[in-house]
Amino acid sequence: MRFMYIVTSSKPMAGPSPALAEAMQRISEREIKAGRMIDNGGLMPLSTGARVRIIDGELSVIDGPFIEAKEVVGGYAIFELHDKAEALAMAKEFMQLHLDHMPGWDGTCELRAFATPGVDIACEVDAKSGVAAHA
């Protein structure tokens, strides 16, 4: 199963400490070599981004930073793993690196399985309306 890990924090984005960056590089190299990690990366600060959204049928663009952001996505990773249990173990190992190498950091690693054909998924299409219903 393919999983995306989304790392968020409510604290201002400061980037990883040198020790954390080195530890993440080692784990990334190991997981890429093993064929489990497909992609990963850190994201630039909100001030460099933009949001494109639709409200009341109108399309708008808002340049960052976004004042209302309560949590900021700092990075992501995509893994090909056997199941959710393996995905949770990998996420815990990754977050342990933050505990070990970046004291005082608070954050979350959300893991989500990709919706793929033939896999029991939470996104189903209503056959009559053709509209996706998300659980």
Q: Within a domain: residue 19?
A: yes
Cα distance between residue 43 and residue 52, in whole Å: 17
Q: Within a domain: residue 38?
A: yes
How many CA atoms lie within 13 Å of 110's alpha carbon, on the beta-carbon side?
10
Q: Within a domain: residue 124?
A: no
Cα distance between residue 71 and residue 43, in whole Å: 13
CATH for 12: 3.30.70.1060
Q: Which long-range contacts (CB under 8 A, 24 or more apart) does 85-89 make?
A: 87/1, 87/3, 87/111, 87/113
* Total domains present in the chain: 1
Q: Within a domain: residue 133?
A: no
pTM: 0.79
Q: Within a domain: residue 123?
A: no
Residue 13, pLDDT above cutoff 90 = no
Q: Within a domain: residue 52?
A: yes
Token reading at 90: 């990998």
User: What are the pLDDT digits (tens) for 44-83?
Assistant: 888 899 999 999 999 999 898 877 778 889 999 999 999 9
Task: Provide the terminal-to-terminal Cα distance of the chain, rounded to the nearest Å.
Answer: 19
- Look up the domain containing 83 and give its range: 2-116
